[in-house]
Structure 1
Amino acid sequence: MKTLIPFLEDMRSHLGTNYRKIVADAGYESEENYEYLKKNDMASYIKPKTYECEKKRSFKNAIGNRENMTYDRVTDSYICANGKRVECQGTKKGKSRNGYVTEKTVYACHDCAGCPYKKDCIRGNNSKLPLEQREKHFEVSKRFLELRAEDKERIASEEGKMLRMNRSIQSEGAFADVKETQLFRRFLGTGHLNALTETVICVLAHNFNKLHHKIQNGTQGRYLFPLKNLA
């Protein structure tokens, strides 16, 4: 999560320009990364952390998930499965190691006593309070949800699907080739310089092999593979 911005800054220092479309897996999702990309005119195509979970029936049926509650924009509150309001209690701010400040809205329900859904709604084993005394509460960054919604719209488009498919082909395929084909699973030398040297040799071997296959298949200059349309 904290490596995306340094990666992009390093690339810009070498290339003198920015990539306009940034495709990454769920591990890179954060409000800070979203905000950085937006401010630098780069479109994010990052899979949200909950993207796959949201498709599962268990997630959709989990009444304790904020996403499954009805949001009342007028009163800025959520309505739970028992018809009670999880109301806004105020905001709190936090700061990342890079100095990025996030603002989260705190929501809580003080009417959870005797709720028949409490066992399914309030989860977690870290609280010392017995379940009967606990109340529903959660924190939400509204800015993060706004940026995530924009990102989800992009990755759900045809272009987003194509870019995400090609990211999987290029990055995951490279890892597989290095580990399985080249059998490179650990460094032989010690120290930073030796590790860097082995990495460069490994990368060169992978790229030469990839170029050879492209020449054999006549696919030089092709950077992206189109999506296959199902019949």
Structure 2
Amino acid sequence: MDKSEKTIYTCEDCSNCEYKSKCIKGNNSKTTLEERIKNLEISKLFNKLRNDELERILSKEGCKLRMNRSIQVKGSFGELKQDMGFRRFLCRGKQNVLAESILLAMAHNVNKLHNKIQ
């Protein structure tokens, strides 16, 4: 993993700035708002990774994958919630929830198979 390099920009004097109260957040500081200054940190690695991801998302393949993903998941959850009346898990714990979700998936698949046979 690459080390992250940060560039820190500091405002030298923002005492007369009309946006200071909106720019500097937090009221629980020991220093008063008038004494505080704005620091802005920019990570070069983060910006590079962000731009790479944006290129992938906006590519033809990325658009195709996003379109298919939005179509596939919605139908199954809609059927579980509306047709089968599933609203919440009835048990606690990761293993119990996993077991219940597997039962729901099996019931969904049996229901699909039944509809195809009909």
How far is 1:154 from its partner?
1.7
Alignment TM-score, normalising by the size of structure 1: 0.40
SS of the residue 1:103 aligns to: coil
Task: Confirm whether residue 179 of structure 1 aligns to residue 81 of structure 2.
Answer: yes
More helix, by proportion: 2
1:13-92 correspondence to structure 2 within 5 Å: none
Q: Contact 1:104–1:139 at 8 Å: present in 2 too?
A: no
Unaligned runs of 5+ in 1: 1-34, 36-100, 217-231
- For residues 111 and 66 of structure 2, the distance between their equivalents in structure 1, rounded to whole angstroms, comes to 23
- For residues 92 and 48 of structure 2, the distance between their equivalents in structure 1, rounded to whole angstroms, comes to 46
Q: Compare relative contact order (CA 8 Å, sep 6+) and give the higher one, 1 or 2.
A: 2
How far is 1:162 from its partner?
2.0
Q: Taking structure 1 as reference, are residues 161 and 109 closer, same or farther at Cα in structure 2, changes over 3 Å only?
A: same
* Counterpart in the other structure of 1:159: 61
Which residue, 104, 120, 124 being the options, matches 2:25? 124
For 1:168, give the aligned amino acid. Answer: S
Task: Confirm whether residue 203 of structure 1 aligns to residue 108 of structure 2.
Answer: no
How far is 1:126 from its partner?
4.2
- Alignment length (residue pairs): 115
How far is 1:157 from its partner?
2.4
Give the aligned CA root-mean-square deviation in angstroms: 3.2
- For residues 193 and 147 of structure 1, the distance between their equivalents in structure 2, rounded to whole angstroms, comes to 35
Q: Taking structure 1 as reference, are residues 116 and 172 closer, same or farther at Cα in structure 2, changes over 3 Å only?
A: same
Alignment TM-score, normalising by the size of structure 2: 0.69
Task: Using the aligned pairs only, state the percent identity.
Answer: 44
Post-superposition CA distance 1:97-125 (Å, at most 9, x none): xxxx86352332222222233234x1423
Unaligned runs of 5+ in 2: none
How far is 1:190 from its partner?
5.8
Task: Confirm whether residue 143 of structure 1 aligns to residue 45 of structure 2.
Answer: yes
